[in-house]
Amino acid sequence: MNWTLEVAFLPVTDVDRAKDFYSRIGFNADHDQSPTDDIRFVQMTPPGSNCSIAFGKGLIEGTPPSAGTLMVCVDDINVARQQLVDAGIDVSEVDEQRWGHFVYFDDPDGNHWNVQYLPYR
């Protein structure tokens, strides 16, 4: 049996601001539904990913930022960083480690993101 991670839920304080932020960095807006007045479900997927993020109203207890860091993997760390810069995102310089290259940024609610490039792949 396969176990696949499909969706990671993020706490946000402003759903529209979060949707705009993730749209600017290239995530696809898969769903934006409000089945009731108390629930709004937004699901967004990074290009080429099989795992999405979800946020909204009435989905997660607790306040941002999330307890952990989310990671996305890319084929070219410099292109990824430039895409974030071009979208107006405050992103770190490239952190070149022996095991990989990374850039880091936070969404407007302080949820932490780590972008990873593995040069040996």
Structure tokens at 73: 């993997």
Q: Which CATH class is domain 69-121?
A: alpha beta
Please report, in tens digits, the pLDDT of each residue of the chain (121 residues total): 677 789 999 999 999 999 999 999 999 999 999 999 999 999 999 999 999 999 999 998 888 887 778 999 999 999 999 999 999 999 999 999 999 999 999 999 999 999 999 988 6
Q: Do domains 1-60 and 69-121 have the same CATH topology?
A: yes
pTM of the model: 0.87
Q: Which residues of 31-56 are buried (b: 16+ CB within 10 A; e: fewer)?
A: eeeeeeeeebbbbbbbeeeeebbbbb
Sheet holding 100-106, edge to edge: 69-73, 112-117, 100-106, 95-97
Token pair for 87? 């979208």
The residues spanned by each domain of the chain are 1-60, 69-121
If we measure between CA atoms, which residue out of 80, 76, 109, 108 comes closest to residue 92?
A: 80
Considering just the CA atoms, what is the radius of gyration of the chain in Å?
15
Instruction: Give the architecture (CATH level 2) of 1-60.
Output: Roll (3.10)
